[in-house]
Structure 1
Amino acid sequence: MAVTAITHHAPQLGAEPGDWLALLKPRVISLVVFTGAIGLIIAPGHINPVLGAIAIFCIALGAGAAGAINMWYDADIDAIMRRTTSRPIPAGKIEASAVLGYGIVLAVASVLLLAMATNLTAAAVLAFSIFYYAVIYTMWLKRRTPQNIVIGGGAGAFPAVIGWAAVTGHIGLLPVLLFAIVFFWTPPHFWSLSLYAATDYEKAGVPMLPVVKGAKHTRLNVLVYALLLLPVSVAPWVLGLTGRIYGFTALALSLAFAVLCWRVYADDQDAAGVSRTKDKPARTAFKFSLLYLFILFAACAVDRLI
């Protein structure tokens, strides 16, 4: 079982509310809530504000549930990696079995509540998104292939689709394109991070691309996916689904991101592929990638509202 490596930690009694909240990965939830809300805003039709708020809550709860199951399964490697050792399970604050039960209960509750508040289509997509992240990515891909992030990128791309479906009861072309944007955005976003966190992943035995293929290969892939993202990001505008506000924003952001990823690719390296700049371009690209997604989705909402 994934948690056997941390059984030497004696769980402490009386975990604080903040520890249970940490299991939901609040930083990830903030992005999920934002993209899910954008899906609601841009969808044609109308949803009661109370039901819309419930839908966003369910999306956040489902994402948190998937995060908790992820922490349960990855507790052994979380205990090894420097940036995750303070998480509740490896820190000995909460029993691993309690975390699994917590995640399952929240997952079921989020799907059932969304089905009752909106419709079965939205609930089904939410259920699949939880399964995709907790099982397909966490349990199957993450420890088996350096392409884990490419395939697993779909996990974070569902919220806008769920938000749209909550309003309309179906899935349209625009949310599918937003899904594709997040899908192609994920590799350069996460591989930029993995370039300067490669030592942690190697120590934990996670086959991230820099560990398996090396930094040079990873830098090339960061650039390739940034270039692929460019036409995907402007596709909603080209296809007439959005207007100029979104189109110009997408073009400017994607070109800027491509330039930053080019700098990641061209970063000066020694013979072993280690960056002489301490991966400063990769850190810059990672930080910009977060801003990229927020601005792009906000521009889509503004464009549709106007």
Structure 2
Amino acid sequence: MFKTNFQVIFAVANNLALSTIKSTVSVVSIWTDFKEITKMGLSISVVFSSIAGYFLGAETISFTTLLLLAIGGYFMVGASNAYNQIIEKDLDALMDRTKNRPIPAGRMSVNTAFVIAVLFTLAGIATLYVINPKTAMYGAISIFIYTCMYTPLKTKTPIAVFIGAIPGAIPFMLGWVAARGEFGIEPGTLFAIQFFWQFPHFWAIGWFLHEDYKKGGFFMLPTGKPDKGTAVQIIMYTIWTLIASIIPVFGFTGDLKLSIVGAIVVFLLGLIMIYYALQLFKLRTPKAAKQLMLSSVIYITLLQIVFVADKFLS
């Protein structure tokens, strides 16, 4: 009798434990899929750019505005990424780097992803509108261009990268517009910096993922292949990125300023990126492309930190 009761108790406890484990695994899985459908890492980096732009434009820091900008910015980028994965679900299933995303892997339905995208769009526009209408307008433009122009063009023409560079460059200037409520030479310069930066960054990614992109039918490189022509264009846009980055030191960009010390630091960072672009031209290997991609991420991150630090320390 005692043995039978013990077995019953053990079985109940075991079932409860299994149920708890399954519940925990389910919650973890949902959270992981949410991070993937909104590309949390990318979204956070975009929010970082917006916050940097805000600090550059703000005459007095409002932590309420900062919080709204961070939340609204995440919603907007998350929405764009969700729409993108809905549209490209069949193509994602063909590529190694994307086949395990929530929709092609069957862990999330298209309807669920669409609900997330719509809710994020509405919440993002509403949140940014609280800051000021122009911030919401540029956020909405970013979603539209990314979803309705860049995404469908990726399988049609390499020009898609030029189109995609527009929403990719908006976050840095968006922060300034959130601070000042208007567009001018200052946010225009921030836009130009991040616009030119997009090309060496994404072409480097397109280079080392060229074979995988081919499986999905994406045209990511300007010449259609990882060759000298593409490498030359990468070098050209890297140089343009550096030129745009140091323009504020000459006093042509209104309230957006950069000290001589700050310009020297940015220039040296740019030379590192140019070095890796030249290495890619010389070696033309996936490894060299990865090194350029990493140097580009480091460059834009440190540039934004230098610009903000220069403003408050000069």
- Length-normalised TM-score, structure 1: 0.87
Counterparts of 2:299 and 2:265 in 1: how far apart (Å)? 10
1:258 has 2:274 as partner? yes
CA-to-aligned-CA distance 1:87-108 (integer Å, 9 cap, x gap):
1001100111221221122111
C-alpha deviation, 1:281, in angstroms: 1.6
Cα gap change, 1:303/1:67 in structure 2, threshold over 3 Å: closer, same or farther? same
CA-to-aligned-CA distance 1:112-161 (integer Å, 9 cap, x gap):
12212x1101111111111121112112x212111221231111111122
Contact 1:29–1:63 (CA under 8 A) maintained in structure 2: yes
Q: How does 1:205-220 map to 2 (within 5 A)?
A: 205-209=217-221, 212-220=224-232
Does the residue aligned with 1:296 lie in a helix, a strand or coil?
helix
Cα gap change, 1:187/1:146 in structure 2, threshold over 3 Å: closer, same or farther? same
- Count, aligned residues: 283
Q: How does 1:122-137 map to 2 (within 5 A)?
A: 122-137=135-150
Counterparts of 1:211 and 1:225 in 2: how far apart (Å)? 15
Counterparts of 2:289 and 2:85 in 1: how far apart (Å)? 26
1:168 corresponds in structure 2 to 180
1:4 corresponds in structure 2 to none
Counterparts of 1:96 and 1:146 in 2: how far apart (Å)? 27
Counterparts of 1:96 and 1:213 in 2: how far apart (Å)? 32
Cα gap change, 1:304/1:172 in structure 2, threshold over 3 Å: closer, same or farther? farther
1:192 corresponds in structure 2 to 204
Amino acid paired to 2:169: A
Among all aligned residue pairs of Structure 1 and Structure 2, give the percentage whose two residues are the same amino acid.
29
1:228 has 2:240 as partner? yes
2:262 corresponds in structure 1 to 246
Amino acid paired to 1:282: A
Contact 2:223–2:230 (CA under 8 A) maintained in structure 1: no
Contact 1:195–1:210 (CA under 8 A) maintained in structure 2: no
Amino acid paired to 1:190: F
1:107 corresponds in structure 2 to 121
1:304 corresponds in structure 2 to 311
Q: How does 1:30-45 map to 2 (within 5 A)?
A: 30-45=44-59
Bigger shift: 296-305 or 45-54?
Answer: 45-54
C-alpha deviation, 1:27, in angstroms: 1.7
C-alpha deviation, 1:211, in angstroms: 7.4
Amino acid paired to 2:290: R
Q: Give the structure with higher Rg (CA).
A: 2
1:26 has 2:40 as partner? yes
C-alpha deviation, 1:24, in angstroms: 0.7
Counterparts of 1:230 and 1:45 in 2: how far apart (Å)? 27
1:84 corresponds in structure 2 to 98
Counterparts of 1:161 and 1:195 in 2: how far apart (Å)? 28
Does the residue aligned with 1:208 lie in a helix, a strand or coil?
coil
Counterparts of 2:183 and 2:207 in 1: how far apart (Å)? 36
Bigger shift: 181-190 or 213-222?
Answer: 213-222
CA RMSD, Structure 1 to Structure 2 (Å): 1.8
C-alpha deviation, 1:213, in angstroms: 4.3
2:301 corresponds in structure 1 to 294
Amino acid paired to 2:274: A
Counterparts of 1:170 and 1:302 in 2: how far apart (Å)? 23
C-alpha deviation, 1:265, in angstroms: 0.8
Query: 85, 96, 102: which one pairs with 2:110?
Result: 96
2:18 corresponds in structure 1 to none
2:7 corresponds in structure 1 to none
Counterparts of 1:36 and 1:51 in 2: how far apart (Å)? 11
Structure 1 gaps of 5+ residues are 1-12, 268-274
Contact 1:56–1:163 (CA under 8 A) maintained in structure 2: no
1:144 corresponds in structure 2 to 156
C-alpha deviation, 1:75, in angstroms: 0.9
Q: How does 1:266-285 map to 2 (within 5 A)?
A: 266-267=282-283, 275=284, 278-285=285-292
2:5 corresponds in structure 1 to none
Structure 2 gaps of 5+ residues are 1-25
C-alpha deviation, 1:37, in angstroms: 0.5
Contact 1:38–1:298 (CA under 8 A) maintained in structure 2: yes
